[in-house]
Amino acid sequence: MTASHTYSDATLELARKLGSSTLYEASGLPTSAVDPLVRTIWPGASVAGPAYPLECAPGDNLAIHVAMEKAPRGSILVVSTGGFVAGYWGEVLTVAAEAAGIAALVIDGGVRDIAALTARRFPAFARGISVRGTIKASVPSVGQPLSFTGTPVSAGDLVVADDDGVIVIPAAHVEATLAQGQARFDKEARIMDELRQGRTTLDLLGLSRWREGT
């Protein structure tokens, strides 16, 4: 899959419906989940789309400005900063992203102008918030595969991000993961129906041997 690939609307809608937790379990890939400290900036943000990876030097956001012109519309920018928290992204880049058709931001650094990002409902997932600005001096990599908090990311991989966290599913595993995710979703729906009818989790999950006194 190339960076110019876009997933169908139906695929992205399904990925968002199933959510990061279900798809993480369905993927069978421990590395698909990014560092749990990379979280949504405003509650309720939910997005799915193709990754566009890039790397920033600590405290330097020039690579983001370059990527904004290169990333295909619908992309989710996945920005590695080595965990250095500064204000790499704010309201100006949010407006630029909206104009460029960028779907969301995932960054292991920091962002700022939180009120503006929240008001604009731009999905942003970051390690932290920082008023500190950045310089513009270097471009370590744009569009090239990288390790994001230990998770491999290549252009075109599927990013799913919501209140539970962020996952990255390798492009070659997307179809199988969504199918497994739907099966898991359906199974859990049946379990919840039976719970409402009076059965217990010990029964339904095959844990009855742990019932006290047995």
Compute the mean pLDDT over every residue in the chain, rounded to the nearest whole number.
95
- The whole-number pLDDT of residue 3 equals 41
- The whole-number pLDDT of residue 210 equals 87
pTM (2 d.p.) = 0.94
* pLDDT-derived band at 50, boundaries 50, 70, 90: very high
- The whole-number pLDDT of residue 211 equals 83
Structure tokens at 135: 């310089």
* pLDDT-derived band at 214, boundaries 50, 70, 90: low
Cα angle: 197, vertex 201, 205; to 5 degrees: 120
- The whole-number pLDDT of residue 14 equals 98
- The whole-number pLDDT of residue 142 equals 98
For the chain, the domains span 9-171, 180-210
pLDDT over 70 at 2, yes or no: no
Nearest alpha-carbon partner for 122 in 94, 92, 156, 162: 94
CA distance 64 to 82: 14
Task: Quote the CATH superfamily of domain 9-171.
Answer: Ribonuclease E inhibitor RraA/RraA-like (3.50.30.40)
- The whole-number pLDDT of residue 208 equals 86
126 CA to centre of own chain: 10
- The whole-number pLDDT of residue 4 equals 43
- The whole-number pLDDT of residue 213 equals 58
Helices (H), the chain: 9-27, 62-70, 91-100, 114-120, 174-196, 201-204
The answer to whether the beta carbons of residues 67 and 76 sit under 8 Å apart is no
* pLDDT-derived band at 21, boundaries 50, 70, 90: very high
Average pLDDT over residues 126-130: 98
Give the range among 60-64, 167-171, 210-214 with minimum mean pLDDT.
210-214
> pLDDT of 79-88, one tens digit each?
999 999 999 9
